[in-house]
A and B are shown apart, each in its own frame.
Chain A
Amino acid sequence: DIVMTQGALPNPVPSGESASITCQSSKSLLYSDGKTYLNWYLQRPGQSPQLLIYWMSTRASGVSDRFSGSGSGTDFTLKISRVEAEDVGVYYCQQFLEFPLTFGSGTKLEIK
């Protein structure tokens, strides 16, 4: 199985500052079609997860441009610019390259 490892944030993050969340996969997620099969989700408190970023760097419909995804085949970063109160929650990376699909353990974002 592909293991997804997420880093922690130095919480709380001051409102208006930037935050970067890291995720590392145990296998390259770059496929022969040129796409990298790495997604990011946000789970706000008491809610179901919502899609933020897919194919490593493509924002989902309706997602603020304050969110951006980048990376290589195995190392990925979700950057949140100018964090706001509504960004609070747990962020998960997910690999969609092969079954079983796997998630990182989650990174909690708190705002000051």
Chain B
Amino acid sequence: EVQLQQYGAELGKPGTSVKLSCKVSGYNIRSTYMHWVNQRPGKGLEWIGRIDPANGNTIYAEKFKSKATLTADTSSNTAYMQLSQLKSDDTAIYFCAMQWTIAAMFAYWGQGTLVTVSS
């Protein structure tokens, strides 16, 4: 069974960074694309970007190019997203989602990490 494990919550102060993790079990992430999506309180889903863990290639939504950095560690089957220069409007739930390389959908989602930015 494929599972994406994310920590429940992170607290970050304004101007600092946080690094979120998404550990995949049941499937080798080398054969996937790993995506990140956010959801601000009471709002809809917003795509942040994608990483190909096999080669580290990334694609970002324009508004997140200077905010998010996606990486992956194939030895631990884990995807990461670092959010920098945190501001209050970065407060949101951040989901990781897995796409098989041969498909065009988010087949599996993590439970999400709630990032709260507060001093």
Flag whether A49 is at the interface (Cβ < 8 A).
Answer: yes
Given the known interface contacts A103-B45, A103-B46, A103-B47, the answer about A54 and B104 at a Cβ–Cβ threshold of 8 Å is yes
A37-B104, A96-B104 as given contacts; A103 in contact with B109, CB under 8 Å:
no
Q: Is B102 an interface residue (CB 8 A)?
A: no
> Are B107's CB and A51's CB within 8 A?
yes
Given contacts A103-B47, A105-B44, contact A49 B104 (CB under 8 A): no
Q: Which residue of A lies closest to B35 (CB)?
A: A101
Whether B45 and A92, one on each chain, are in contact in the complex, defined by CB atoms closer than 8 angstroms, is yes
Question: Chain B: which residue is nearest A101 at the CB level?
Answer: B47
| Contact B111–A102 (Cβ < 8 Å) | no
CB of A35, distance to nearest CB on chain B (Å):
8
A48–B104 CB distance below 8 A: no
Q: Is the CB of A48 within 8 A of B110?
A: yes
The reply to whether A49 and B106 form a contact with Cβ atoms under 8 Å apart is: yes
Q: How far is the CB of B106 from chain A (nearest CB, A)?
A: 6
Among B44, B46, B111, residue most surrounded by chain A Cβ atoms (within 10 Å): B44
Tell me how far the C-beta of B61 lies from the nearest C-beta in chain A, rounded to whole angstroms: 4
Please name all residues of chain A whose beta carbon is closer than 8 Å to the beta carbon of B45 when the two chains form the complex. 41, 43, 49, 92, 94, 103, 106
Given the known interface contacts A54-B103, A55-B104, the answer about A102 and B109 at a Cβ–Cβ threshold of 8 Å is no
How far apart sit A106 and B37, CA to CA, in the bound complex (Å)? 15
Q: Is A100 an interface residue (CB 8 A)?
A: yes
Shortest Cβ-Cβ A-B pairs, 5 listed: A54-B105, A48-B109, A100-B61, A96-B104, A101-B47
Task: Show 30 A/B contacts (Cβ-Cβ < 8 Å), sorted by A.
Answer: A39-B105, A39-B106, A47-B111, A48-B95, A48-B109, A48-B110, A48-B112, A49-B45, A49-B95, A49-B109, A50-B109, A51-B105, A51-B107, A54-B103, A54-B104, A55-B105, A60-B107, A90-B44, A92-B44, A92-B45, A94-B45, A94-B105, A94-B106, A99-B59, A101-B35, A101-B50, A103-B44, A103-B46, A105-B44, A106-B44
> Using a CB–CB distance below 8 Å, which chain A residues touch chain B?
35, 37, 39, 41, 43, 47-51, 54-55, 60, 90, 92, 94, 96, 99-106
Seen from chain B, the residues whose Cβ lies within 8 Å of a Cβ on chain A are 35, 44-47, 50, 59, 61-62, 95, 103-107, 109-112
